[in-house]
Amino acid sequence: MRLLAWLVGLAFFIAPTAWAAKPVDGLDAVVESLRAEGSLPAMAVVIVKDDKVVVARGYGDRTNADTLFGIASLTKAFTATGLAMLVDRGTLGFDDALSTALPGFKVADPYVTAHATVRDALAHRTGVASADLLWYGHRDSTVSALLGAAGALPQVASLRERFEYNNLMYLFAGELLARRSGMPWEEFVAAEIFRPLGMTRTSTDLRKMPELPNVATPYIRTAAGVVPVPHASHQNTAAAGAIYSSANDLGRWLRFLLNGGELDGKRLLRRESLDPTMTPQMLIGHTGPADELLFPGANFIAYGMGWFISDYQGRKMLSHTGGTDGMAAFISLLPRERLGVAILTNVEGDMARAVIRNWLFDRYLGAKGTDWRAAYSRWLEPTRTHAAEMAKAQRDARDVNSRPHLALAAYAGRYTSDLFGTVEVRLGPNQQLEWRLAELPFSALAAWQQDSFRIEWPTIGMNEPVYSLLTFQLGGDGKPARVVVSGPMLDADVPFDANAR
H/E run at residue 385: helix 372-397
Please name the residues in contact with 208: beta carbons below 8 A apart, sequence gap of 6 or more. none
Q: Locate all alpha helices (DSSP H) within 123-277, ordered by sequence.
A: 132-137, 143-149, 167-181, 185-189, 195-197, 238-241, 247-258, 271-274
- Calculated CA dihedral for residues 143, 147, 148, 153, nearest 10 degrees: 130
Q: What is the pLDDT of residue 325?
A: 86
Q: What is the pLDDT of residue 317?
A: 98
**Distance between CA atoms of residues 71 and 250, nearest Å:** 10
Distances (CA, A) of 137 to 204, 395, 457: 20, 27, 10
Q: Are 480 and 422 in contact (CB under 8 A)?
A: no
Q: What is the pLDDT of residue 488?
A: 72
Residue 429, Cβ density class (10 Å: 0-12 exposed, 13-18 middle, ≥19 buried): exposed
SS3 173: helix
Of 337, 241, 333, 321, whose CA–CA distance to 278 is shortest? 333
Conformational region of residue 183, where left means phi above 0, alpha means psi within -120 to 50, and beta covers everything else? beta
Q: What value does the mean pLDDT of the chain take?
A: 91
User: Nearest-5° angle of CA 359, CA 360, CA 361?
Assistant: 95
Give the least confident one: 19-23, 47-51, 53-57, 455-459: 19-23
Q: What is the pLDDT of residue 22?
A: 86
Q: What is the pLDDT of residues 176-220, one digit of tens each?
A: 999 999 999 999 999 999 999 999 999 998 778 878 899 999 999
Query: Does residue 235 register a pLDDT over 60?
Result: yes
What mean pLDDT comes out for the span 96-112? 97
Position 390 confidence tier, pLDDT thresholds 50, 70, 90:
confident
Q: What is the pLDDT of residue 383?
A: 74
What mean pLDDT comes out for the span 336-351? 94
Q: What is the pLDDT of residues 439-454, one digit of tens each?
A: 999 999 999 999 999 9
Position 8 confidence tier, pLDDT thresholds 50, 70, 90:
very low
Q: What is the pLDDT of residues 130-155, one digit of tens each?
A: 999 999 999 888 898 999 899 999 99
**Distance between CA atoms of residues 60 and 149, nearest Å:** 43
DSSP 53-108: EEEEEEESTT--TT-BEE-GGGHHHHHHHHHHHHHHTTS--TTSBHHHHSTT---S
Percent of the chain with pLDDT over 90: 76
* Polymer length of the chain: 501
**Distance between CA atoms of residues 78 and 306, nearest Å:** 8
**Distance between CA atoms of residues 308 and 140, nearest Å:** 30
Indicate the DSSP class of residue 419. T
Q: What is the pLDDT of residue 2?
A: 42
Q: Are 358 and 293 in contact (CB under 8 A)?
A: yes
What mean pLDDT comes out for the span 228-244? 88
Could you report how far apart the first and last alpha carbons of the chain are, in Å? 66
β-pairing verdict for 282-284 and 266-267: unpaired
Q: What is the pLDDT of residues 115-131, one digit of tens each?
A: 999 999 999 999 999 99
Residue 3, Cβ density class (10 Å: 0-12 exposed, 13-18 middle, ≥19 buried): exposed
The HSE-up count of residue 373 (CA atoms within 13 Å, CB side) is 22
**Distance between CA atoms of residues 124 and 136, nearest Å:** 19
Query: Does residue 6 register a pLDDT over 60?
Result: no
Q: What is the pLDDT of residues 454-490, one digit of tens each?
A: 999 988 888 888 899 999 999 999 999 999 999 876 7
The HSE-up count of residue 25 (CA atoms within 13 Å, CB side) is 9
**Distance between CA atoms of residues 139 and 148, nearest Å:** 15
Q: What is the pLDDT of residue 389?
A: 85
Q: What is the pLDDT of residue 211?
A: 81
Query: Does residue 330 register a pLDDT over 70?
Result: yes
What mean pLDDT comes out for the span 361-379? 90
Q: What is the pLDDT of residue 21?
A: 54
Please name the residues in contact with 352: beta carbons below 8 A apart, sequence gap of 6 or more. 34, 35, 37, 38, 40, 43, 343, 345, 376
Percent of the chain with pLDDT over 70: 95
**Distance between CA atoms of residues 414 and 501, nearest Å:** 9
**Distance between CA atoms of residues 306 and 66, nearest Å:** 24
Query: Does residue 17 register a pLDDT over 50?
Result: no
Query: Does residue 319 register a pLDDT over 50?
Result: yes
Position 501 confidence tier, pLDDT thresholds 50, 70, 90:
low
Q: Are 321 and 340 in contact (CB under 8 A)?
A: no
Position 373 confidence tier, pLDDT thresholds 50, 70, 90:
confident
Q: What is the pLDDT of residues 394-417, one digit of tens each?
A: 899 999 999 999 999 999 999 999
> pTM here?
0.93
Peptide bond into 128 cis (omega under 30): no
Q: What is the pLDDT of residue 500?
A: 57
φ, ψ for residue 310 (rounded to 5)? -150, -165
What mean pLDDT comes out for the span 341-350? 93
Distances (CA, A) of 300 to 284, 291, 295, 353, 370: 8, 12, 9, 21, 20
Q: What is the pLDDT of residue 415?
A: 98
